[in-house]
């Protein structure tokens, strides 16, 4: 029997956060750092709960740039053990903020075990599969946990609350990655018809995760992943109870990205930049960056020898303008979050979900303001 839920599920664009009375006098008073205890890991983490997604552009440079801001980079899963080892030896202080990603393959776990043995430390881990709603995935996460009792483990993706509970209780996961189909380079909703609106996913999954406790302060936690197009969307995810927010496209095009860049060139004695390299350029600068969904055949071809013909590509290619340094992006991000806190009277990022009230809106709020011409 087919069933249909008549309860409307909401996306970020379906709501606004209602401004509230505030006693704050300055944005500088707002504390954006959080301290987390985890359901399984004995580690205590302090920082700004924003992560760069484990997409192909999440490089060591990105990890270094974000660690400076106490933010997390989930390195893409194709870095070699040797390169990971060298990075962690060179930047031991970044270990809290640099997560090593794996997929769901025996060789992925072996890769991680090799790193652990070489390094003598257990790195924090991001386990990423397109559909985490699978019994075998819960068992796989449990196996990773058995081998890495100290690591902070992020795993997903799921949207359904029973899967969140299962991954936390039985899968040994600390942070459940929530969101299917919303990513900027994701075509799952078109290719398969599957997905779940992200704001409701955050509200529902954070509620069940926070209801699970495994000792003093050791709550289940979630990461909102996919579909945050603006700082406003990041604020909505945090207000909807998400503990961390994972961003892919938002960081794509920043200086620290690894991948396909386009440049423009300044030739000798010329004062204008041109798109084609004249062969005698004196300077070049980045103009555009192209990234690919991690499940696209292109991304797989880059790193894997055997493309699986039975799998459809659930990703797309996106080209974005050069966005400047990661520092610039972070400044814009944190400025927006601070302002949101001011509008709702929250003196810290931690209190956003307690202070926020959403109102449902029609699409008029998205219309360009004709005066500003935005």
Q: How far apart are CA 67 and CA 11, in angstroms?
A: 30
- Residues 118-157, one symbol each (x = binds ligand 5GP by CB under 6 A, - = not), give ------------x--------------------------x
185 belongs to the binding site for ligand 5GP (CB under 6 A)? yes
Nearest residue (CB) to ligand 5GP, 159 versus 264: 159
Q: Which of 155, 186, 222, 329 binds ligand 5GP (CB under 6 A)?
A: 186
Question: Which segment (141-149, 162-170, 220-228, 277-285) binds ligand 5GP by CB under 6 A?
Answer: 220-228
183 belongs to the binding site for ligand 5GP (CB under 6 A)? yes
- By C-alpha distance, which of 123, 114, 113, 118 is closest to 151? 123
226 belongs to the binding site for ligand 5GP (CB under 6 A)? yes
| Residues of span 231-290 touching ligand 5GP by CB under 6 A | 246-250
220 belongs to the binding site for ligand 5GP (CB under 6 A)? no
Sign of CA dihedral 300, 147, 52, 81: negative
Place of tokens 């938002």: 250
Instruction: Specify the DSSP class assigned to residue 305.
Output: S
DSSP string, 35-98: EEE-SS---EEEE--EEE-SSTT--HHHHHHHHTTT-EEEE-TT--HHHHHHHHHH-GGGTTTE
Asked if residues 47 and 72 have their Cβ atoms less than 8 Å apart, the reply is yes
Nearest residue (CB) to ligand 5GP, 188 versus 206: 188
Q: How far apart are CA 329 and CA 31, in angstroms?
A: 19
Nearest residue (CB) to ligand 5GP, 47 versus 293: 293
Q: Which of 242, 295, 300, 353 binds ligand 5GP (CB under 6 A)?
A: 295
315 belongs to the binding site for ligand 5GP (CB under 6 A)? yes
Question: In DSSP terms, which residues pair with 52 in a beta bridge?
Answer: 73, 247
Report the interface residues with ligand 5GP, using CB under 6 A: 53, 55, 130, 157, 183-186, 188, 225-228, 246-250, 293-296, 314-315
């Amino acid at each position: 029997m087919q069933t249909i839920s008549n309860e409307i599920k909401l996306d970020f664009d379906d709501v606004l956060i209602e401004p509230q009375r505030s006693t704050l006098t300055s944005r500088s008073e707002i504390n954006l750092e959080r301290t987390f205890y985890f359901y399984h890991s004995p580690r205590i983490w302090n920082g700004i709960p924003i992560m760069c997604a484990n997409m192909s552009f999440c490089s060591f440079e990105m990890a270094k740039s974000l660690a400076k801001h106490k933010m997390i980079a989930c390195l893409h899963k194709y870095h070699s053990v040797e390169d990971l080892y060298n990075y962690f030896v060179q930047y031991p202080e970044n270990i809290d903020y640099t997560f090593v990603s794996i997929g769901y393959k025996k060789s992925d776990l072996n890769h991680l075990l090799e790193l652990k043995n070489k390094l003598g430390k257990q790195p924090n881990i991001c386990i990423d599969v397109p559909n985490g709603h699978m019994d075998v995935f819960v068992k796989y996460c449990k196996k990773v946990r058995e081998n890495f009792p100290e690591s902070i483990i992020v795993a997903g993706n799921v949207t359904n609350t029973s899967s969140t509970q299962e991954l936390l209780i039985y899968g040994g996961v600390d942070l459940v990655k929530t969101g299917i189909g919303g990513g900027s380079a994701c075509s799952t909703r078109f290719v398969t018809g599957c997905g779940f609106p992200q704001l409701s996913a955050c509200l529902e999954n954070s509620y069940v995760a926070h209801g699970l406790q495994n000792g003093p302060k050791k709550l289940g936690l979630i990461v909102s992943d996919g579909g945050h197009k603006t700082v406003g969307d990041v604020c909505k995810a945090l207000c909807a109870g998400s503990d961390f927010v994972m961003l892919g496209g938002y960081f794509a095009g920043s200086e620290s990205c690894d991948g396909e860049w386009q440049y423009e060139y300044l030739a000798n004695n010329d004062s204008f930049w041109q798109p084609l390299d004249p062969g005698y350029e004196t300077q070049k600068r980045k103009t555009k960056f192209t990234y690919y969904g991690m499940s696209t055949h292109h991304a797989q071809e880059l790193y894997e020898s055997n493309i699986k013909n039975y799998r459809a590509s659930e990703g797309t290619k996106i080209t974005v303008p050069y966005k400047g340094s990661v520092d610039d992006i972070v400044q814009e991000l944190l400025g927006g979050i601070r302002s949101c806190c001011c509008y709702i009277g929250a003196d810290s990022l931690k209190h956003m979900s307690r202070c926020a009230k959403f109102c449902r809106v029609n699409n008029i709020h998205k219309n360009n303001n004709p005066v500003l011409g935005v």
